[in-house]
């Protein structure tokens, strides 16, 4: 269960990918709660603009800071840890939110692109946990780790195969992290997996100048995340304006049944199972 004391005024949160989208919306919420907030991003222009925005929103601008960081570089993450801990002390929230998405082609193509995407989406999260969690454990204070995953890491739709692989890795890693933390006597740190629905983030806005009706805003996703954290949820499975919780559950169940029923891989998109899947969703 989440200990609500993690987000008390005066606590400290570190958010990667915090200069835009879900990361910035989360940082804004934490600033409003009176927390010290450190955001990290690799886009210097956006980072500077977002820092100015957060400082204007804060009752005390000195409680907001940021750093230019490439999460695929462990040394960058360690410098971020040192900045946050030296300036604000105990870290009460680590939100590993930085991510990227770009076409990588078939599983046998573009090896360098595959590596680049995995370095950010998966290794960026591992780097964050490796750098911060020992410090958080030593502090012995209530704290949380939130790793941003994706529904594509669960149902793995055809298309961006490398992205699916990276986010499936985030699911597995965060599940292991939550279990490992539970094995520590009197541990006050919990891990959580954020699984956004269709969210109009900066990554989407580059391709769609206007928010589609189906998409949630980043603020809606963050509202849902905080409500889920207050309940102590591990899987923060967000709906959107087009996909309900029930629809997500059915899609996840079908995907799991591929193994149990020995169907072809990704049978949801297999022409031989098109009618069966439609009937399953209708029922």
Q: What DSSP assignment string belongs to the chain?
A: ---GGGGSTT-EEEEETTTSHHHHHHHHHHHHTT-EEEEEES-HHHHHHHHHHHHHHSSSGGGEEEEE--TT-HHHHHHHHHHHHHHH-S--EEEE---------STTS-HHHHHHHHHHHTHHHHHHHHHHHHHHHHHTS-EEEEEE--THHHH--SS-HHHHHHHHHHHHHHHHHHHHHHTSTT--EEEEEEE--SB--HHHHTT-SS--TTPBPHHHHHHHHHHHHHHT-SEEE---SS--HHHHHHHHHHHHHHHHTTPPTTGGG-GGGHHHHHHHHH-
Catalytic residue among 161, 163, 173, 200: 163
Is residue 161 part of the annotated active site? The answer reads: no
Where in the sequence numbering do the catalytic residues fall? 163
């Amino acid at each position: 269960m989440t200990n609500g004391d993690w987000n008390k005024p005066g606590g400290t949160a570190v958010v990667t990918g915090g200069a835009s989208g879900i990361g910035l919306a989360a940082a804004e919420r934490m600033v409003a709660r009176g927390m010290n907030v450190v955001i990290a991003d690799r886009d210097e222009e956006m980072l500077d603009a977002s820092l100015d925005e957060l400082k204007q929103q804060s009752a005390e601008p000195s409680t907001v800071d940021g750093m230019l960081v490439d999460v695929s570089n462990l040394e960058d993450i360690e410098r971020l840890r040192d900045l946050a801990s030296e300036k604000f002390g105990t870290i009460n929230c680590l939100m590993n939110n930085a991510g990227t998405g770009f076409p990588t082609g078939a599983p046998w193509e573009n090896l360098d692109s595959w590596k680049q995407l995995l370095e950010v989406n998966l290794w960026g999260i591992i780097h964050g946990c490796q750098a911060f969690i020992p410090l958080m454990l030593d502090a012995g204070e209530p704290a949380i780790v939130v790793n941003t995953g994706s529904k594509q890491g669960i149902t793995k739709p055809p298309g961006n195969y490398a992205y699916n692989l990276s986010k499936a890795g985030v699911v597995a890693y965060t599940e292991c992290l939550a279990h490992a933390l539970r094995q520590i006597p009197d541990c006050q740190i919990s891990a959580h997996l954020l699984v956004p629905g269709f969210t109009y983030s900066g990554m989407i806005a580059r391709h769609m100048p206007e928010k589609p009706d189906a998409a949630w805003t980043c603020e809606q996703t963050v509202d849902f995340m905080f409500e889920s954290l207050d309940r102590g949820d591990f899987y923060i499975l967000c709906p959107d304006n087009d996909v309900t919780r029930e629809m997500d559950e059915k899609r996840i169940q079908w995907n799991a049944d591929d193994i149990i029923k020995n169907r072809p891989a990704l049978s949801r998109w297999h022409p031989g199972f098109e009618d069966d899947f439609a009937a399953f969703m209708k029922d």
